[in-house]
A and B are shown apart, each in its own frame.
Chain A
Amino acid sequence: MSSLESTKKPRAFGGRLRNNWVTIVIFVVVAAAVMVFVPAFAQPVNLVNVARQSSIIGVVAIGMTFVILTGGIDLSVGSILALSGVTMAMLINSGADPSLAISVALLIGVAAGLLNGFAVAVLKIQPFIVTLATMVSILGISLRVTNGGPQAFDNSNPIFNVLGSGDVFGLPGPFLVFLLVAAVGAVLLRYFALGRYIYAVGGSFEAARLSGVPTRTTLITAYAVSGLTAALAGVMTASRLGVGAPTAGGLANLDAITAVVIGGTSLMGGIGGVVGTVFGALLLAVLSNLMNLMGIGPFDQQIVKGAVIILAVLFAMQATRKRISDRSSARKAPSGRQKEAPADPVANAGVPQ
């Protein structure tokens, strides 16, 4: 019932920061170490590059956070990203107005997300299988409409510049989009019924259903959000390159899931949030930038990346466990916190042991 309890009263912002402190600490420590040992990193141009490089996966990961919080997963984001970029490019090439092309691309993402959500919530198919299937089919659609080739288009319109590469107030446009999406996501999860429903469904689906949470609508909405952010990332990628490529999605799904999990959100659902995800995405971008700056060989980079992911998740898990045991012991003895108190089994149900 712990998740339901947490849905009754939104926690204060300080509480959320505490939830994500491990990721933030890792991020700050890594960034500080890097600034000392790799001087090239701290140069403003490089920092702007890293911010820009984190944006695409970051935007996808924000939507992914919604889905993972419900206890689900969305493997189709890479394919949605590609389809949206391809659609936008082809619409522009056929003479459509940029704002129309972008709107249609985003709507396609929402539509794909609704489809995922419908299959998960109403047809009760496992999210992994649903989104695996849509991942394959949607990639097929992109390949079919493009004949397998990248679609170049004219991206000189200022709107593409802002979304893709341009600077706004000295910060890269895509990074501002990322921060904006994260802010909207954080507000939705904290101050709106939808957010509380999402945590409730992820914490315990049955408990949420019995307490009158509209579980189906909640699930469908979460997948629609993920589809929308994936499509937005597709629009951003295409704007940046001036190309809508059917293969643009690549491993975006796995990168986004990694960012979410490093950010302290549990794959079991019900625990986590977008603030951690923001830092998870930044950490991934810093890591890859850093290894390139240090001249670590391409084979070794993969080994290091895997090791860092395991370590980061390990730390994030420890923090989550501690937080839950703190919370449950605080509930048992409201007057004072007994940190060594055994954890409440129900409270621990959502956490991998």
Chain B
Amino acid sequence: MHITKKRLTSWSAAMAIAATVALAAAGCSASGASQVAPPLNAGDKPAVSLYCGSTCASQLVLKAKPDSIKCSVGVSWSATSFPYGATSSKQIPALAKRWFPGMSVSVTDGQGDASTQSGQVDQLVAQGVKVLIVSSLDAKALNGAVDRALKAGVKVIAADRNVNAPVDTYIGSDNVDAGVASGKYIAKVLGAKGKIVELAGSLGASPTVARGDGLRKGLQGSGVQIVSTQTADYDQSKGLSVMQDLLQKYPAGSINGVYTHNDQMAFGAIQALKEAGRDKEIKVFSIDGEEKALADIKSGAMESTVGYPLVTKESVIAAAKLCAGEPVDKRIKLDSTLITKDNVAKYVGKSPQDE
């Protein structure tokens, strides 16, 4: 009995070690294939992105010399498990290193949890950062920590999402604007008799609410009807299955368009339309502007998307301005650029989600 037990243990141990090695090896080989830095169309001099219009650009002129910027910056992003957060958390330190050799950046990942992120903000303040770039999951959940940071004399930049606290500046495009731009274009393309379905993002998330409200604002007075709204959680495979169901509910000829709250869901919807042979009948209108969406617009599979740009370059420049003691406007707004087949060529390779 004892011997059996021992043999079993060593056998299991060997199996587990083999499993660990296999897992690690898989990780290594896979990472070897993809160790590409995120595309970064930035030069060696601080410059705003394509999606920061003339007003935005004029708000972000740095008077001090880049070499003279010497300070520590903390970055607190709500989560890095989605492309926007992952790209932002990687780009900000990379840009800072390229433009401002004297700027040191530490990045934290809130892992989608407001209390984790709140603790990280406190910790960055305790470390003595001079500027804090914070992108919160929820405007209300983080105001306590941000208030403490402000009281400690830290300059705070709210990036992409605003916080309910008197921050020094809030940099980002506006989700309502993105919805409005899309709604107006839908009204123009489909005319008064249009009927559309809406694939919404995760229920209750602030971009979901804003992108839905924006659409309704944009459609106002146009006669276009939203016949159904269902959530697909910003997920491609859910976009596919929910669209399949909706195509079943609305037989040929009863809808002309689908509005999706992000490109991932649009990709799923496009697949459902193609499989049902109804891609000529139903037009796809989306938001975000991923590189693949731009390709789909070029090929005609997607009608339009509205750029939802990264704010990495703008945040780093604003951080430098605050470090140098220069005044920064309370609100810096990036464009919600409508991208259709007429202007897509201008943006290919410079997608708002990579730029």
Chain A residues packing against B (C-beta within 8 Å): 40-41, 43, 45-46, 49, 53, 56, 83, 86-87, 90-91, 93-94, 104, 107-108, 110-115, 117-119, 121-122, 138-139, 141, 143-152, 165, 214, 216-217, 220, 237, 240-241, 243, 245-248, 250, 288-289, 292-293, 295, 297-299, 301-302
Q: List 27 A-B contacts (CB under 8 A).
A: A45-B248, A87-B30, A90-B30, A91-B33, A93-B33, A93-B34, A104-B26, A112-B19, A114-B18, A115-B19, A118-B15, A119-B16, A122-B13, A144-B27, A145-B34, A147-B36, A148-B86, A150-B264, A241-B236, A288-B241, A288-B245, A289-B248, A292-B242, A292-B249, A295-B228, A299-B203, A301-B230
Q: Among B12, B27, B240, B292, which residue has its beta carbon within 8 angstroms of that of A118?
A: B12
Contacts of A216 in B (CB 8 A): 8-9, 12
B81 touches A90 (CB 8 A): no
- Give every chain B residue within 8 A of A147 (Cβ-Cβ): 34, 36, 38, 86-87, 90
How far is the CB of A83 from the nearest CB of chain B, in Å?
8
Residue B83 contacts which of A119, A149, A302 (CB distance < 8 angstroms)?
A149
Q: A41, A110, A250, A295: which contacts B233 (Cβ < 8 A)?
A: A250
B33→A90 contact, CB < 8 A: yes
**Which residues of A lie under 8 Å from residue B251 when comparing CB positions?**
40
Q: A147-B34, A148-B82 are in contact. Are A241 and B237 (CB under 8 A)?
A: yes
Q: How far is the CB of B45 from chain A (nearest CB, A)?
A: 26
Write out the residue numbers on chain B whose beta carbons fall within 8 Å of the beta carbon of A91.
29-30, 33
Q: How far is the CA of A119 from the CA of B80 in the complex (A)?
A: 28
Q: Apart from A91-B29, A121-B12, A241-B267, what are 14 other A-B pairs with CB-CB below 8 Å?
A: A53-B241, A86-B30, A91-B30, A112-B19, A114-B16, A119-B16, A122-B13, A147-B38, A148-B80, A148-B87, A245-B236, A246-B81, A292-B230, A298-B231
* CB atoms of B22 and A108 under 8 A apart: yes
Main secondary structure of the interface of A (DSSP, over half): helix
B23 lies within 8 A of chain A by Cβ:
yes
CA distance A220 to B9 in the complex (A): 11
Chain A nearest CB, measured from B269 CB (Å): 12
- Using known A-B contacts A90-B34, A143-B80, A148-B81, determine if residue A293 contacts B15 with beta carbons closer than 8 Å: no
Which residues of chain A are within 8 angstroms of B36 by Cβ–Cβ distance? 147
B41 within 8 A of A: no
- Chain A CB within 10 Å — which of B19, B249, B292 has the most? B19
B interface SS class: helix
In the bound complex, do residue A40 and residue B16 qualify as a contact, i.e. CB atoms below 8 Å apart? no
Task: Tell me if A247 and B81 are in contact (CB < 8 A).
Answer: yes
| Residues 206 to 248 of chain B near chain A (Cβ within 8 Å) | 228-231, 233, 235-237, 240-242, 244-246, 248
Give chain B residues whose Cβ lies under 8 Å from the Cβ of A104.
26
Residues of chain A lying within 8 A (CB to CB) of residue B12: 117-118, 121-122, 216-217, 220
Residues of A within 8 A of B203 (CB): 298-299, 302
How many Å from the CB of B102 to the closest CB on chain A? 27
Whether A111 contacts B200 in the complex (CB less than 8 A), given A87-B26, A145-B27, A146-B34, comes out as: no
A148 to B90 CA separation, bound complex (whole angstroms): 10
Q: Distance in Å from the Cβ of B254 to the closest Cβ of chain A? A: 11
What is the minimal beta-carbon distance from A142 to any residue of chain B, in angstroms? 9
> B40-61 CB contact bits vs A (8 Å, 1 = yes)?
0000000000000000000000
**Measured between alpha carbons, how far is A138 from B81 in the docked complex, in Å?**
12
Tell me the minimal C-beta distance from B244 to chain A in angstroms.
5
Kindly state whether residue B300 has any CB partner on chain A within 8 Å: no
Task: Output the nearest chain A residue to B264 by Cβ-Cβ distance.
Answer: A150
User: Which residues of chain B are near A45, meaning CB under 8 Å?
Assistant: 248, 276
- Are A108 and B16 in contact, with the CB atoms below 8 A? no
The answer to whether the Cβ of B315 comes within 8 Å of any Cβ in the partner chain is: no
Q: Is B66 engaged at the interface, CB distance under 8 Å to the other chain?
A: no
Give the CA-CA distance A138 to B27 in the complex, in Å: 10
Interchain nearest-CB distance for B114 vs A (Å): 18
Docked pose: A146 CA to B31 CA in angstroms: 7
Q: Which of B291-321 contact A (CB under 8 A)?
A: 292
**Separation in Å of the A51 CB from the closest CB of chain B?**
11
> Given that A143-B86, A147-B86, A293-B245 are contacting pairs, would A241 and B240 also be in contact in the complex, using a CB cutoff of 8 Å?
yes
Contacts of B230 in A (CB 8 A): 292, 298, 301
